[in-house]
Chains A and B, each alone.
Chain A
Amino acid sequence: MKKYFGRKIVIYLLTFFLAVTIDWMIPRFMPGDPIRNMLTRVSVSSNPSAIQMMYDYYAHLFGLDLPTWQQYLNFWQALFKGDLGISTYLFPTPVKQVLLRAVPYDLLLLIPAILLAWYTGNKFGAFAARSKWLDNTISPVSYVLTATPYMWLGILLAWLFGIVLGIFPIAGAYAFSLRPAFSLKFILSALHHWFLPFISIFMVGFGGWSIGMRNMIIYELESDYSHYLTTLGAPKKLIRRYAFNNAVLPQITGLALQLGVVVAGALVTEVVFSYPGIGYLLLAAIQNQDYFLIQGCFLFIIIGVLLANFTLDVIYVLVDPRTRRGMTGETA
């Protein structure tokens, strides 16, 4: 178990190091100049020497006038202090503050959607396996759902429920007339806006998990231990329970593997519904070439995915006794 966690943690640290490096590197080699962009947007004055002075001031403020290696070291140093720089797009708000405002929306959208899709998908998939009737009704639906691009399902739901039927709003996280507050009115409005993006992320995930579980259960039901139990005369229900317990393990690993895809899906879903999470921010940051905000979005996504992976590792050890006994049930 120590070895299992040791390996995992080394991989996560390496990933984090590499991700931070990529994160620092790519935006810096992106064409375009964020300070110049910012100055043209606020169109300070037409006097070139004044612009140059402003330019130098901001370049110094952001540390862009230092040698590259110094910038890299500073980046790490600042990172450990929790300083992610200042957004040029939402100047002068610190990036951390911009991101922390967006994170709750992401968590409230993603965590319920992912977990609920995983749970219900697995349940339905297990029912559908080797049951003619369910397999002919639920499985085709699941195929269609898992093949649907996230944004298209979002577009369809927004069009159908938002425009044609007009029962759900299709933009923002709460009504424009409200300010975030801990009141019933605000919570209801937020839920109302939350529902469509949630359901579109949920539905795509549901399809994938139920297909995966259906196939996995069939494998298990055809394995030697199931046949042995059948010949012993064990009740069908018991065999199915054993099959489910075995089939659920790869599904936990699968959840870890799917996280990146779900995050990407959430990103485009947020774009469709103008939902103010990190995906929506990242898009705005790219369009405005906001170095610090792009880096921040990145870091938050990567830290989130790494934390989720680690949580799943812990759960895996709790669920699969083989990993605890030092028999590597699943290789790192």
Chain B
Amino acid sequence: MSTQKKKNEFLYFGLRNKKLLVGSAIILFFLILSLVGPWLAQNDPFKFVNPLGAEAPSSKYWFGTTFFGQDVFSQFVNGLRATFVVGLIGGGLGTLLGILIGFTAGYRGGLVDEVLNALTNIVLVIPTLAVLLIVAAYLKVRSVWTECLFIGFTAWPWVARAIRAQTFSLRTRDFVDLARMSGMKATPIIFREIAPNMMSYLLLVFILQFGGAILTAATLDFIGLGPTNAISLGLMMQYAVLWGALQLGIWWWFIPPGLAITAIVGALYSMNVGLDEVFNPKLREM
């Protein structure tokens, strides 16, 4: 009964939170575009369709064509799809690893905690992108999935750290002691007693990881270390810079990919703050 009421309360404030609504609307727009777009685009993203080379947006080529005569719209929507995949899988993996390590370290304590915490701090200090660069350069053939793996395996530390701290404060509460005394095992205690108290926080963490994964992927793609067999928004920007789109004024080549990334990540951040206000009554502005 009370959880029902609480849900309604979140829904009530959620539907009235401008940051959350605007953010969700932007994400939804790009998500639909990434699902429908590749189907609307008639041309293959890499195919040289326009013999005239670069051409400004027109009714035939909605976003114009590149220096080589490739369809920018087709590249854009296919890259958008890759962006969502990386955010979802890479960000999801980072969140999952962070949650597992954070819960284990925080709940077990002792030596396990010492080791996991040291590992967390080490990965936290090493500039992960530098490591990613080297590993990515080492693999000659890379897919979107390898990129997701790289990003997931390096993005978890701050999540682990934050969740560890929260688990520490929760594990000595009465209800957890009670569960332990009643003979519950550690894993069910973590997932049935501790985790539900952090659900809202975990959702926020996932949103931030989603955005972070997108930005990291864009950086890797831009340096030419992204997927070797697929188009991505970062790769579009790299080609645009390498082939003098700036000097030639082919703005329709480099504006859409960066704009989409900025809009998506910005919308995610905005959703994050909006949700925080929904879940935390103290932050609501009256």
Interface size class on chain B is 35 or more
Q: How far is the CB of A213 from chain B (nearest CB, A)?
A: 13
Instruction: Give the A-B pair count, Cβ closer than 8 A.
Output: 156
Partner of B283, one of A152, A170, A219, A297: A219
Interface locus among A67-75, A88-96, A300-308? A300-308
User: In the bound complex, do residue A151 and residue B222 qualify as a contact, i.e. CB atoms below 8 Å apart?
Assistant: yes
User: In the bound complex, do residue B130 and residue A30 qualify as a contact, i.e. CB atoms below 8 Å apart?
Assistant: no
Interface locus among A41-49, A155-163, A176-184? A155-163
- A50 interface residue (CB < 8 Å to B): no
User: In the bound complex, do residue B258 and residue A148 qualify as a contact, i.e. CB atoms below 8 Å apart?
Assistant: yes
User: In the bound complex, do residue B129 and residue A147 qualify as a contact, i.e. CB atoms below 8 Å apart?
Assistant: no
User: In the bound complex, do residue A147 and residue B130 qualify as a contact, i.e. CB atoms below 8 Å apart?
Assistant: no
Partner of B258, one of A27, A155, A170, A283: A155
Interface string of A6-49 (1 = CB under 8 A from B): 00000110110011001100110111000000000000000000
User: In the bound complex, do residue A143 and residue B270 qualify as a contact, i.e. CB atoms below 8 Å apart?
Assistant: yes
- B109 interface residue (CB < 8 Å to A): no
Q: Is the interface of A mostly helix, strand, loop or mixed?
A: helix
Q: Is the interface of B mostly helix, strand, loop or mixed?
A: helix
User: In the bound complex, do residue B134 and residue A260 qualify as a contact, i.e. CB atoms below 8 Å apart?
Assistant: no
Interface string of B120-137 (1 = CB under 8 A from A): 011011111111011101
Q: How far is the CB of A319 from chain B (nearest CB, A)?
A: 20
With A18-B126, A298-B134, A302-B126 in contact, is A11–B258 under 8 Å at CB?
Answer: no
State in angstroms the CA–CA spacing of A269 and B198 once bound together.
38
With A22-B131, A151-B237, A152-B262 in contact, is A331–B219 under 8 Å at CB?
Answer: no
- B230 interface residue (CB < 8 Å to A): no
Q: How far is the CB of A201 from chain B (nearest CB, A)?
A: 13
State in angstroms the CA–CA spacing of A256 and B143 once bound together.
32
- A128 interface residue (CB < 8 Å to B): no
State in angstroms the CA–CA spacing of A147 and B255 once bound together.
15
User: In the bound complex, do residue A332 and residue B121 qualify as a contact, i.e. CB atoms below 8 Å apart?
Assistant: yes
- Please, which residue of chain B has its CB at the minimum distance from the CB of A164? B249
- A267 interface residue (CB < 8 Å to B): yes
State in angstroms the CA–CA spacing of A259 and B128 once bound together.
10
State in angstroms the CA–CA spacing of A103 and B225 once bound together.
24
Q: How far is the CB of B272 from chain A (nearest CB, A)?
A: 10
- Please, which residue of chain A has its CB at the minimum distance from the CB of B216? A264
- Give the residues in chain A near B211, CB-CB below 8 Å: 147
- Please, which residue of chain A has its CB at the minimum distance from the CB of B121? A11
- Please, which residue of chain A has its CB at the minimum distance from the CB of B276? A215
User: In the bound complex, do residue A305 and residue B127 qualify as a contact, i.e. CB atoms below 8 Å apart?
Assistant: yes
- Give the residues in chain B near A283, CB-CB below 8 Å: 223
Tell me the chain A residues, 283-316 only, with Cβ under 8 Å from chain B.
283, 286, 294, 297-298, 301-302, 305-306, 309
Partner of B215, one of A11, A15, A149, A218: A149
User: In the bound complex, do residue A12 and residue B125 qualify as a contact, i.e. CB atoms below 8 Å apart?
Assistant: yes
A sample of 14 more A-B contacts (CB under 8 A), given A11-B125, A263-B129, is: A29-B138, A147-B268, A149-B218, A151-B219, A152-B218, A152-B254, A155-B240, A155-B241, A159-B246, A164-B249, A218-B283, A222-B282, A260-B125, A264-B130
Name 14 interchain pairs, CB-CB below 8 A, sorted by A. A23-B134, A147-B261, A147-B267, A149-B219, A153-B258, A155-B254, A158-B246, A162-B246, A164-B249, A257-B158, A260-B130, A272-B241, A298-B134, A331-B165
